[in-house]
Structure 1
Amino acid sequence: MAKIIISAKDIARAGILWERYKEHKDSSAREELILLYTPLVKFVAGRLAISLPPNVDRDDLLSYGVFGLMDALEKFDLSRGLKFETYAISRIRGSILDGLRAMDWVPASIRQKAKEIEKTYLALAQQLGREATDEEVAQALGVSETDFQKTLQDVRATTIMSLDEYWLAENDKSESVRLLDTLVDEQNEEPTAGLEFEETKQLLAGAIDKLPEKERTVIALYYYEGLTLKEIGTILGVSESRISQLHTKAILRLRGQLARQKKKIF
C-alpha cells in the first residue's frame, strides 16, 4: 500500500498495546488498538464508497468495517511476523463487502445490463483478436455510443466488489486468490501454496495484462498503489469520472474474459 495510514508514532505505541492484549488479555489495550487502527477502516470505507450510489450510507460501511477490524485484532498472529495493517485491510474490506451483499442494493436490471456487457466484451475480443473499442461495443449492443456510456455509468456499482472478491480454485475451495493478489508485489508476505492456486493467479494476471493500457494502469494504481480515482485522474490528465469509467470497463472486461475459464463468486 503506497499510502501511510498509521503514523510511525502510533505503530510504535501499538507494539506495547499488542503485548498487553495478546499476552495479558488486557481489554483496555484492545480498545486502544481499535481506536489506533480506526483510520484503516476510514481508508477502506472511503475507497469503496467511491463507486457506490448515494443511497448507501457511509456510516453503514464504517460499522461493517469496525467489525472487520475487531475480527482482525482477534485472529492476528504476532508470531508470523506480518504487518497487521496489510492483514487488517483485507479483513476490513471483506467485512464491508459482506455487509453490502446482505443489503442486496443493486437492482436485478442493472446486474443484467452488466452481464450483457461482459458477454459482449468477451465475444468481440474473441472475434477481433483484441479488446473492443467503445464504438464497437455500442454497435454490437445495438445502442448509440452515448447510450453505452450512460449504461456504463449505471452498472458502475456492480463492479465495486470485483477485485476484492475471492476467486476460488475449482478443486480446492479452501484456497482462494484475489485479483488484487495477481498484481506484482515484491513485498508480498503471504506465500502462495498449491499448483491450482498458482494456476489461478497466472490466469488472472494474464487477463489483467490483456487490458487496454489505460485500463490496466487504472487497475494497478487503484488497487496496488492505493491511489484514489482523483489522484489517478491527475496523473493521467483526465477527469475523475473518466477514471471511474475506465475502472468499470476494466472490471467488465476481466469478468467476461474469466467467465469461461473459472467458476467464481461475485
Structure 2
Amino acid sequence: MQAAPTPELLSDADSPPTDDAFQRLSALTPGAERDALRDEIICAWLPMAHRLAARFRSRGESMDDLRQVAAMGLVKAVDRYDLSRGKAFETYAVPTVTGEIKRHFRDHTWDVHVPRRVQDLRNRVRTARRDLALRLGGRAPTCAEIAAEAGLAEEDVLLGLEALESYSALSLDAEPAGVDGGAPLANRLGACDHALDVAVDREAVKPELRRLPERERTILYLRYFRDMTQVSIAERLGISQMHVSRLISQSCERVRAGAMEGAV
C-alpha cells in the first residue's frame, strides 16, 4: 500500500477552516442543530476525502466506490475527533481516511479469501521482489534472495508468492495465458468418472461372489454379463423361470449384505 499522505500535501481547498465549527459541535447536545452542523463539517472536508481516494484509483476499484469508502472514513474522523487534544483536524483525518481505504482493499477486494497474515506477507514479498529486480538489472530474484531482503523465512516467501496470484480469480471462460485460440480453462477441468465407482463396487463384491454356489454364480453371470433373460437361463439350466428369479434375488441380497459388512 502507498504511504499515508501527510497534511502538508493537501491543498488549501482541502483544508477548510472548521475549528470554530468543531468547537460549537462539541458544545451541542444531540439534536437537529448538531446534526446539521456535523453535516456541514463533513461536506466542507469532502474534497479532501476525494483527493485521498484518487491516489488509489489505479488499484482496480471504481472511483465511485473509493470515494464512498473515503467518505465513510471522513465521517468516522469527524465523529471521533477531539479538539481538546490540540491537533489540527486534518492531522487526524488524513490517516483515518487513508486507513479506511486500505482496509477496504484488504477486506473486500480479494476474489479469494486470504488471511490477514498472508496478505501482509504478500505485501512484504511484493515490495522486496520489486526492489531486488531494480537492483539486479531486471533479473528475477530467487526465493532465498527475497527472504533475505524481506527478513522472512523461505516458507513465508513461498506463501506470499502464492498469495500474489490470489488477489484476482481467473474466469473459467478465459483462455490459458500465452495461447491464442486455445480451449477455455473450463474445458480442461476433470470430471467425475463413474467408471471408477463401478471398479470399486466390482472389487467389493468379488469375495462374496466366490462364496456363492456354482449354479448361483452361473445364473448371475448369464443374467448380468451375457444379458440373457430369466426364461433363457431357466431353459438352459432346466429349471423354472420362477426359480431363476428367486435365486437371483437371494444371491444379490447375499452379495450386497456381505459387501456392506466388509465395508464396515
TM-score (norm 2): 0.42
TM-score (norm 1): 0.42
Larger-Rg structure: 2
